[in-house]
Each structure stands twice: as structure tokens, then as C-alpha cells.
A = this chain, B = another copy of it.
Amino acid sequence: MAKVQARVEAALERFLPQASIAPQRLHEAMRYAALGGGKRVRPLLVFAAGEAAADDPARADPLRLVIAACAVEYIHTYSLVHDDLPCMDDDVLRRGKPTCHVEFDVATALLVGDSLQSLAFQLLAEHKLSDDPAIQVEMAKILAIACGSRGMAGGQAIDLASVGRTLTLPELEHMHIHKTGALIRASVALGARCSNTLAPAQLARLDHYAKCVGLAYQVVDDVLDQESSTATLGKTVGKDAANNKPTYVSALGLARAKALAEELREEAQAALSDLGGGARRLSELADFIVLRKF
């Protein structure tokens, strides 16, 4: 994992314009937001899915996977920068640093998010990710749908509409399937397509794994938000409760939320059962995501 994280970190740096290139302040702010922080969970999922989908895990192509990983991580970073804006969650701390609009200004943070989204699609289009360009077009489609109004941005809209309301568990799940789940599913789908040896039924099982992991990720986030300190988490904790936002902990209580995370972890593992040894990293990641800092 550390090796993949280091590789992704270096690539995230390399694909961003230097802060010396005009417009300097925008590029400086993009680098501030995207570099030096974050667990890089989505890139890890891209690489792990690439290994699971390769004939031989050792032959998954890291040059392709790192492009897909950076694209997904730039999208994730853009979503964090926009979510932290005053008109959204109005947050001041992210990854242990002042949020982008606090360190720079709101207008610059808006453009940072906009530009990171474009950069993600640029990466998918200007590097060779598949021997078959039609697969590459499909990858851009997967990412675009995952980002859009029926994916991540739509989840954010559902989240906005839910502040101060009591959500049923299905409603909460619906929100998170969009808000965080869509991009986690896209990470796995893109990683698999970099290798492109799986049959549709196997891709469907990988997607089910990703759905479970995506939901588990959010349940664990809610638990950690309840149990951790701001210093440990690197972002403001207890904020969802303070903002009257529904969470798995508020909907289920702490114990049942933890039990749900564990169920989802087991379901994710089960979805990997017939993918063989190549899926070992995906299996480890499901454990990592659910068992972190409990």
C-alpha cells in the first residue's frame, strides 16, 4: 500500500501544473488542495482492482493504473474543495490544514474545484489506458456519470436537501450511494478496465464489492466522526451532528452502525470469493476501510 501511495503521490504532483505557471495563484491553490494529505483510498482501490482484473496480478500495468488513480483522486479532491465552501459545509479544516478557501479565497477555491474536474478528464484522454481506444472512451463515460448529477454531485444535492430532516435508513443509504459510493465504484471499475480481462459477470461482482465498500466507508466515517478528536481525524469532528445532518450513528446508534459496517465488510469479501488470488489487495482494502481506527 505504501508503495502505491508513494507512486500516486508523485504522479499527482507531476500532473498538476507548476505553481510558477500562470495563472500562478490558481495553480498554487490546486497543488495546495491536491497534494500532501489524504489516505488515497480511491487510488488504492484503482490499483487493487487492476490487479484483480489482470491475468497475473504482477502484470497489472502501473503506468495505466496511476493515470486512472490520479483522475479519480483529482475528482475526489475537487469534491472536497467545493463541499468545504461557505455555501456548502462551510468547513475550515481539511486533512489537517486550513481548507482551500480559507488559505486562498472562495473564488479561487471554486476555480480549483472546476479545474481539477477538467484535469481528471484530461488525464483519461491524453494517456493510453487501454489497447482498445473504445475501452478508454468507456472509462471517461464511467467517470463522468459517477461525478454528475446522478452520481457524486447529485449525492451532494440530496445531502443539502436532508439537513435538519430525519432520514430513514434507505434514504440515508440512497444519499451515500451517490455522494461517496459513486466515485468508489468508479475507482474499482476504472482499475479493472485498465487490465480488461474480466467477463461481465466478474465485473458485476467487483461492482458489488465496490458498492459494499463504499457504503461501509461512509458508515465508518460517521462512527469515527462521533468517536474521534479533530486532531486525530484532521478535519472538524462532530460537525454533522451540530449541523443537524443525518448520519448512520444518529439513525442507528453507535453499536448498530458498527455492526452494519462489519456486515458490509463481510458482503464485500464474499463478492470477491471467485476472483482468486488476484483479489487479495481488494480484500485487504475492505478490511482496512472498515477496521481503521475503530
Bound Cα distance from A21 to B145, whole angstroms: 15
A49-82 CB mask vs B (1 if < 8 Å, else 0) is 0000000000000000000000000000010001
Interface string of A137-163 (1 = CB under 8 A from B): 110110111011111011011101100
Interface residue? A197 (CB, 8 A): no
Is A136 in the interface zone, CB < 8 Å from B? yes
B158 touches A22 (CB 8 A): yes
Which B residue sits closest to A149, measured CB to CB? Answer: B115
Encode contact with B along A75-101: 1 for CB under 8 Å, 0 otherwise.
Answer: 000100010010110000000000000
Residue A125, interface by CB 8 Å: yes
The tally of residues in A whose CB lies under 8 Å from a CB in B reads: 53
Chain B nearest CB: distance from A82 CB in Å?
Answer: 6
Would you give the shortest CB distance from A249 to chain B, in whole angstroms?
A: 24
- Cα-based distance from A161 to B108 in the complex (angstroms): 10
Q: Whose C-beta in chain B lies nearest to the C-beta of A150?
A: B17
A233 CB to nearest B CB, Å: 24
Known: A23-B157, A25-B161, A111-B157. 15 other contacts (CB 8 A): A17-B149, A23-B154, A26-B154, A30-B149, A82-B110, A87-B106, A108-B157, A111-B153, A115-B153, A115-B154, A117-B117, A124-B140, A125-B141, A125-B144, A137-B137
